[in-house]
Amino acid sequence: MRILLVEDQMELQHWLAKALRESHLTVECADNGADADALLHTQDYALVILDLTLPKMDGLEVLRRLRARGGARGKTPVLILTARGGLDERVQGLNQGADDYLAKPFELVELEARVKALLRRGMANEALVYRCGELSFDTVTRMFSYYGSPLALTPREHAVLEALITRSGRAVAKEKLFGEVFALDDDANLDAIELYIHRVRKKLESGQPGAAAIATLRGIGYLLQPRDQP
Amino acid sequence: MASLAERLRGGAVGSLRGELLRWLLLPLIVLEVLNTVSAYRNAIDAADMAYDRSLLASTRALAERVSVAQGKVVVDVPYVALDSFETDTLGRIYYKVSGLNGETVSGYDDLPPVPASVPRSESYPALVRFYHATYNGQPIRIAALLQPVYDDTMRGIALIQVGETLDARRGLTNKILFDTVLWQAGLVFAAALLIWFAVGVVLRPLMRLKGAVETRSVSDLSDLDPALVHREVRPLVAAMNASMARIRALINSQRRFIADASHQLRTPLAVLRTQTEMAQRELARLPPGTVPAPLADMLTGIAGTTTATVHLANRLLMLARIEHSRGSLAEPVHLRALVQQVALELAPFAVNRGIDLALEAEQEAVIAGQPLLLHELVANLVDNALRYTPGGGAVVLRVTAAGDGVVLEVEDGGPGIPAAERERVFAPFYRAPGTSHVNPGGAGLGLAIVRDIALLHDTVPVLLEGAGGGLLVRITFPSSEKLKAASA
C-alpha cells in the first residue's frame, strides 16, 4: 500500500519512512506543503501522514484543499502529526476533516498502531484478527479461538468478549459494555454485566502462559489483557 | 510644613478626610473671623446710633428748659426726666449748661469740653456734636447741643452738654459680639460635619473599586470598570488597567516563550525517540548472544531518558498553556464521567502494575469549569497516585457531593507525604526526598499543574493522610454558581 508522508524535518522524515517501510508500506515523501498539495492532486494514496508546520503551505491548508476536492481521492484518510499539540489545534484539525491526530514526540509503536487502524478502515472487507495472548478473534468469521481451538460462548458472553478484545488493550467503561451487550428494551440491571464477566473469566482461566484475563476496575470498567504481561 | 514637602516628593499621603478638612476649614475659619470683626464693627456703629438718638432726646429736653431771665441764662433742670433716662440706659448721666459767654449755668462744671476737631453731626437737623471723653475716670459719650436763647434784652447761643457712661452700649455690643461669635462657630462646626459626611459619601465609589479589586481571583488580570468611580478618578483606574495590561503582556510573553521552547524541543525529541526505537528493533533482530549486554542496556537507558524528557517537555507546555482568562471556565463538566474517562485511559498502566484502581461515586456531579484543563488535573493526580503506589496496592478515586460543592479525592497506597513537606511539593520542579527512585521519570511538575488548574477553578488541592497512610489529595470545587448564572 502506498502512503504519503509529509514532514519537513528531514531526519524525522528519514527515520519515519524507514520504520513505515519495515511495516511493508510504500512510502512517498514530501517536505513542503505545496509539493504535498500537488502530489495529492494527481496521486492516490491509502493514507496521508501530514505535519502541520510546513514551509510553502500550512498543513491545515493542504488538508482543507484535499477535502474540498471531494470524490474518492478527497476521502483519503489523514493522520495529523504536529509539534504544536495545542488543544485548539487538535479540535481545528479534526474539524477540518483529519481522521486522527498524534502529537510529537510520539512513540513509534503508537504511530504504527494508528496507521494500521486508519488503513484498516479503508478496507473493511479484509480479514482482521484481534489478539490478546493466545486468545484471538476473527472479524470475518466472528469466531474466538483460544490456544488454537474454538472457544464456546453464549451470545451474551460473546458480545462481552468481542467488545473487550476489539478495544485492543484499552479499558471499556461498564456503561459502554452494558450498552453493547444488552438491547435497549432488555430489562437488565447494570450489575447483570458482572455475571457475564464472571462467566467469561471462568472460561478464560488457564494455567498456561498466554492466558487472557479480564481485570475489573471497580466503578470504572473492564480491561482484557494477557495475564503474564510484564 | 515638612508634610507638604513630603507630599511634593510623592511620599506618604495622609487621610483624604483630614486633608479636605484642613483645606476647607482653615480658610473658612479665617473668613469667619473677618466676618465677625466686620459684624462687630457694624454692631458698635448701630448701637452708637441708637444710643446717640436717645442721648440727643434728653439733651433737647434739657435745652427746652433753658431760657433768659433778667439778662441771664437760666435753666429749670427736669430731674425726673434725667432720672428716668438714667434708669433706662443703666448708666449715669452728667450734664452741663453753659451761658452765652461760656459760663456754667447749671450742672457739672468740669465736664470735658467739646474738642475743636469734632464735626457737626450730619444725621440731625439740630446743631449737635457727639464725642467720646473721659470723666471721673470713666469713658463717656457726650452730646453737645447749641441752643439759641433770646428775650427782649438780649440774644445768644447756649451750650447744653449731656454725657452718659458707656455701660449700656458696652452691654449691647458685647451681647451682639457674643451672639455673632456663637453663630459663626456653629456654622464652622456644621461645615466640618458636612465635609466629614460628604467625604464618606464621595469615597463610596472608591470603596466599591477596592472591593472589586479585593474580590477578584489571584489570576484575574482583566481590566477594572472605570464606571465604578467618578470621572475625576477614572484616570487612576485607567493607569491601573494599563499597568495590569503590561503585567498580562509580560506573563503572556513568558508563557509563549516556554510554549515555544517546548515546541522546539518536540521535533528533535520525536527524531531521538524514533531513532532509539529503531535501534532497539535492529538489536532485537540480531541472533541472541551476539549483542553485547552493555550496548542493550545503554539503549534501554537512552529510551528511558528520552521518555522522561518527552514527559518533561509535555508538562512544561501544559503549565505554560494553563492560560489565565482564556476559554470558558464555566462550562458544565460531569466530574464523575470525567474521572471515569481518565481512569479508563490509565487502566492498562494500573493493571500492568497490579494496582487495584477503583472509582467510588454515588451519582453524577456537575461542576463549572474547563473540561480539557480538568481532564489534565485529574490525569495528573491519578498518574501520580499510580506511580507512587507499589504493586498490589490500591488507588481509590472518589467524587462526592458535599453541601453546595463537589469533592474530588484521590487516595493512593504509597508512602504519603510528611506534613512538613506538603506545601513544598506544589512548587514546580520540587521533588520530595526519596521520590527519585520511585518515580525516576518525574519532573516535579504534576502537582504544580494540578494546583494551577485548581486555582483557575477557584479552589486549591489539599494534601492529607489517607486511611492507609498514603497520600490523599482532596479538591473541593465550589458550587456551580457560575453555571447557574450562565444558564439563567
- Contact in structure between B395 and B357 (CB atoms under 8 Å): yes
Q: Which residues of B touch A12 (CB under 8 A)?
A: 267, 270-271, 274
Cα end-to-end span (Å), chain A: 34
Q: Across chain B, what does the average pLDDT equal? A: 81
Q: In CATH, what class is B216-326?
A: mainly alpha
Is residue B31 over pLDDT 80? yes
- The contacts of residue B13 (CB under 8 Å, 6+ apart) are B7, B19
Provide the terminal-to-terminal Cα distance of chain B, rounded to the nearest Å.
Answer: 58
Residue B247: phi and psi, rounded to 5, are -65, -45
Identify the residue whose cell numbers are 485529574. Answer: B378
Q: Considering chain B, what percentage of its residues have pLDDT values greater than 90? A: 9
Q: Are B413 and B389 in contact (CB under 8 A)?
A: yes
For B32-174, CATH gives 3.30.450
Span B331-387, pLDDT tens digits: 888 999 999 999 998 998 899 888 999 999 888 888 888 887 888 899 989 998 998
Per residue in B75-134, pLDDT tens? 887 777 677 666 666 677 888 888 888 788 888 888 888 887 777 776 666 678 888 888
Q: Are B148 and B156 in contact (CB under 8 A)?
A: yes
Grid cell in block for residue B98 = 453753659
**Which residues of chain A neighbour B277 with C-beta distances below 8 Å?**
19, 107-109
Instruction: Assess whether pLDDT exceeds 70 at residue B326.
Output: no
Q: How far apart are CA B423 and CA B435, in angstroms?
A: 16
Q: Check if B279 contacts A (Cβ < 8 Å).
A: no
Q: Per-residue pLDDT tens for B307-320? A: 888 877 777 777 77
Angle between helical axes of A10-22 and A108-121 (0-180°, round to 10) = 60
- Name the 3-class secondary structure at B91: coil
Are B319 and B258 contacting, i.e. CB atoms less than 8 angstroms apart? yes
Q: For residue B279, what are the CA distances in angstroms to A26, A167, B284?
A: 21, 29, 9
Per CB-CB distance under 8 Å, the chain B contacts of A108 are 273-274, 277-278
How much is the pLDDT for B398? 93
The C-alpha of A72 sits at a distance from chain B's nearest C-alpha, in angstroms, of 32
Q: What is the CA radius of gyration of chain A?
A: 21
The grid coordinates of residue B435 equal 521520590
Check CB contact under 8 Å for A105 and B344. no
Q: How many CB pairs under 8 A join A and B?
A: 107
Q: What percent of chain A has pLDDT over 90?
A: 7
Cα–Cα dist A169/A181, whole Å? 19
Spell out which residues of chain B touch residue A228, defining contact as CB-CB under 8 Å.
none
Q: Give all domains of chain A, ordered by start, each with its CATH number.
A: 2-121 (3.40.50.2300), 129-226 (1.10.10.10)
Q: How confident is the model at residue B325 (pLDDT cuts 50, 70, 90)?
A: very low
* Residue with the larger pLDDT of the pair B214 and B97: B97
Residue A79: C-alpha distances to residues A25, B395, B454 (Å): 15, 35, 33
Q: In what order do the strands lie in the sheet with B155-165?
A: B104-107, B93-98, B155-165, B138-150, B128-135
Which top CATH class is B331-487?
Answer: alpha beta
pLDDT at B2: 47
Half-sphere exposure (Cβ direction) of A26: Cα atoms closer than 13 Å: 5
The answer to whether residue B344 neighbours chain A at the CB level (below 8 Å) is: yes
The whole-angstrom separation of Cα B383 and Cα B375 is 12
Strands B356-361 and A100-103, how do they pair? unpaired
Q: Which residue has the higher pLDDT, B326 or A42?
A: A42
Q: Which residue has the higher pLDDT, B7 or A214?
A: A214
In angstroms, what separates the C-alpha of B238 from chain A's closest C-alpha? 32
pLDDT in tens, B136-191: 888 888 988 888 888 777 788 888 888 888 887 788 888 888 888 888 889 888 98
State pLDDT tens for residues B42-68.
888 888 888 888 888 888 888 888 888
Beta strands A47-51 and A78-82 are parallel
Contact A105 B272 (CB under 8 A): yes
Quick check: do B32-174 and B216-326 share a fold?
A: no
Domain ranges across chain B: 32-174, 216-326, 331-487
pTM: 0.58
pLDDT band, residue B251 (cuts 50/70/90): confident
User: Furthest-apart CA pair in chain B: how many Å?
Assistant: 175
Could you tell me how many residues make up chain B? 488
Residue B282 confidence (pLDDT) above 80: yes
Residues of A with Cβ-Cβ distance to B306 under 8 angstroms: 105
Percent of chain B with pLDDT over 70: 86
The CA distance from B302 to B297, in Å, is: 9
